[in-house]
Structure 1
């Protein structure tokens, strides 16, 4: 399982490093970046193979049904009573592109790694990365507000409350873009 854990950390680190590497270029500045990790350990209470439904133990001994798709190839190896370990890594990075003329947009990448012959237990790893680009349409230094045009929907006004960021607002220009990069990595391990 070491390669899966390594991949989890690599993807989470890559998303933050991608954002951080923007700050190395003269045109992109990392505004903020955070990463959170959480672990959940539970056990399998029931399996309905026909409906591809697995029920696990939730908080306070509740039952949590999980609907699986046909992509869960090793479902037949899962047994009632198996322990399920879920590790979630989330990161968010915000990057300012100082080039004027960018357009709002959105992109998404995703991937999955499943059980292998070396590790036939059901489980695997999935990642998703979403990048949302918003265009700066107004900068108000007196009220410390920046108006952003997202890819879809009405403009959004963001109040800048951090005094350090307020000081840097004087460098913002209408037409620059702000990228928000969201990365989620989910690792599921099971054992009998």
Structure 2
């Protein structure tokens, strides 16, 4: 199996696990998940300490790209021109059915960062963002395999269930249950000399 795909599946499973830790739901049922990972390796070409900007080689050695860093980039003074930079971006989505009836549409967001430590002073770190969008089931049509969902924005959306295995389980759904779509993005930056 492709190592990137294996990692993507692991991230998707971790997303499902972390989704359950967001809020304790006694009866959450995972429905589906998917993840993608991208990796870019580049090199630092310029550093502007005063303005907290770092420039790296652009894709395919075309125009360089400059990043504006925040005050949270505490290890910026450790970065040197010529340092190798690996940037990993992982995006995952997981769908979870709450078997309780009566949940309301809503959206919540959580984010955080992890930076260099004393044991690893190289500039870099991780940032994550997780958004949970809860939609309420308003209608179930077993003949057409469609479920009508009311998301927080308030505009009813009809979802066609294509997977035969999920179609067979549609008879267990109830109007008033909620479906959570959990979107997770992780950005990891590693530097080395």
TM, length-normalised to structure 1: 0.83
Report the RMSD for the aligned CA atoms in angstroms.
Answer: 2.5
Q: Report 1:157-172 matches (<5 A).
A: 157-172=158-173
For the residues of structure 1 that align with 2:171 and 2:65, how far apart are their CA atoms?
50
For the residues of structure 1 that align with 2:103 and 2:16, how far apart are their CA atoms?
22
Give aligned pairs, total.
181
Map of 1:114 onto structure 2? 115
| Unaligned ranges ≥5, structure 1 | 1-9
Q: Residue 98 of structure 1 aligns to a residue in which SS?
A: strand
Map of 1:57 onto structure 2? 57
Map of 1:141 onto structure 2? 142
Q: Deviations over 1:119-154 (max 9, x none)?
A: 221111122221111001111222221111111241
Map of 1:46 onto structure 2? 46
Superposition misfits of 4+ residues, deviation over 4 angstroms = 10-13, 18-21
For the residues of structure 2 that align with 1:145 and 1:12, how far apart are their CA atoms?
25
For the residues of structure 1 that align with 2:12 and 2:166, how far apart are their CA atoms?
25
Is contact 1:88-1:187 (8 Å) kept? Answer: yes
For the residues of structure 1 that align with 2:187 and 2:12, how far apart are their CA atoms?
10
Is contact 1:11-1:185 (8 Å) kept? Answer: no
Is contact 1:106-1:131 (8 Å) kept? Answer: yes
Q: Deviations over 1:45-70 (max 9, x none)?
A: 22222332222123221322212111
Aligned-residue offset at 1:13? 4.9
| Unaligned ranges ≥5, structure 2 | 1-9
